[in-house]
Amino acid sequence: MTLNTSFERHSLPLEYPFTIARGTRTKTDVITVQIEDDTGTVGIGGAGPSAHYGETAATVEAVLPDLLKVVEDVGDPHQLARIERRLRETVERNPAARTAVSIALHDLVTKRLELPLYRYWGLDPTESLETSYTIGLDDPDTMAEKTETALDRGYSTLKLKLGTDRDIEIVETIRSVAPDVDLFVDANEAWTPREAVSRIERLADFELAFVEQPVPADDPGGLKFVADRSPMPIAADESCITVADIPQIADRCDIANIKLMKCGGLREAKRMIHAARAHGLEVMLGCMTESNASIAAACQLTPLLDYADLDGSLLLADDPYAGVPMPDGVIDLETVDRAGTGAVADR
């Protein structure tokens, strides 16, 4: 069949400037891919590129014509395995660009079959989870104000960004305004192994669920040093990119933080989830700052997860796409009344 493809860039302001240990952003540039079949059915997919992994909106735009040519050459969106292999042969890196194509194909295929994506996979929508909502780094009082706003909006699982010399004060302040919220922290590689151990010992007083990426990904021994000494579970994010990383991190952490934009597509994400389980790890699905053109697809994997950190669209001032409903942060697949990933233009 003939498949018509296109893509466009959206520059989306964030609700708040978003600061992590590595820097601050006020907007996110995402790319939306559309793949249309000869009946006029359109699959939508999004790329939320991350400079930390070598991608920008410009690199996504640079490789998408070659990736979409593969899709047009194969000409059958149901040939997901063959297309995926050829996408990886075309650009080995650029995982966010490949992910946008992967999502658009899955959206198109399941719209053609008139099924929500989770039903195509046979997943149980009643196994829903609440997404965590991220509070970016700021002074402790501002982070406390944002926490109160988040609680007012109904969120009850919060992720705090850390990686400063005020980390203990930040967590203490947040706990004073949100004593009952489920809380975890993400240092984004900012600590040395010894710093991490001493901070985590002090943070253990504040009933955190776990600590994400305490030390740099290029120090795997440091991650093991911390995990062996930590009184609470450790999640690996920057240390956990593709399925090949899962065996490497298996004895160095407790939770694998998998992201579509790191791994290159929905099929690779599923392989990572199953590999992580086989290695005794718990599974979190995370995200970048992304629109619902990609977050909606990630939400479809929720029944396979222990933790969902899928607040990418919630951090935007305005998302041009609607996705899977998240009342009070609960990813509600059961109420999705449309085929595909659930992403739909909202303007």
Contact status: 237 vs Mg ion (CB under 5 A): yes
For residues 157-175, one letter each, b for 16 or more C-beta atoms within 10 angstroms of the residue's C-beta and e for the rest, the string is bbbbbbbbeebeebbebbb
> Minimum CB separation from Mg ion for residue 161, in Å?
8
* Sign, Cα dihedral of 45, 51, 54, 55: positive
Instruction: Output 52 or 112, the one with its CB closest to Mg ion.
Output: 52
Instruction: Output 174 or 284, the one with its CB closest to Mg ion.
Output: 284
Instruction: Output 71 or 287, the one with its CB closest to Mg ion.
Output: 287
**DSSP summary character for residue 116:** B
Question: Beta-carbon neighbour count of residue 140 at 10 Å?
Answer: 18
> Minimum CB separation from Mg ion for residue 7, in Å?
27
CA distance 255 to 239: 11
> Minimum CB separation from Mg ion for residue 187, in Å?
9
In sequence order, the 6+-apart residues with CB closer than 8 A to the CB of 315 are 14, 15, 16, 18, 134, 289
Size of the site for Mg ion (CB under 5 A): 3
- Spatial contact of 212 and 249, defined as CB atoms under 8 Å apart: no
SS3 215: coil
Instruction: Output 7 or 210, the one with its CB closest to Mg ion.
Output: 210
> Minimum CB separation from Mg ion for residue 310, in Å?
13
Contact status: 311 vs Mg ion (CB under 5 A): no
In the list 186, 245, 254, 290, the residue contacting Mg ion (rule: CB under 5 A) is: 186
Region from 67-75, 105-113, 207-215, 248-256 binding Mg ion, contact rule CB under 5 A: 207-215
Contact status: 29 vs Mg ion (CB under 5 A): no
CA distance 59 to 17: 24
Instruction: Output 35 or 240, the one with its CB closest to Mg ion.
Output: 240
> Minimum CB separation from Mg ion for residue 124, in Å?
27
Q: Which residues bind Mg ion (CB under 5 A)?
A: 186, 212, 237
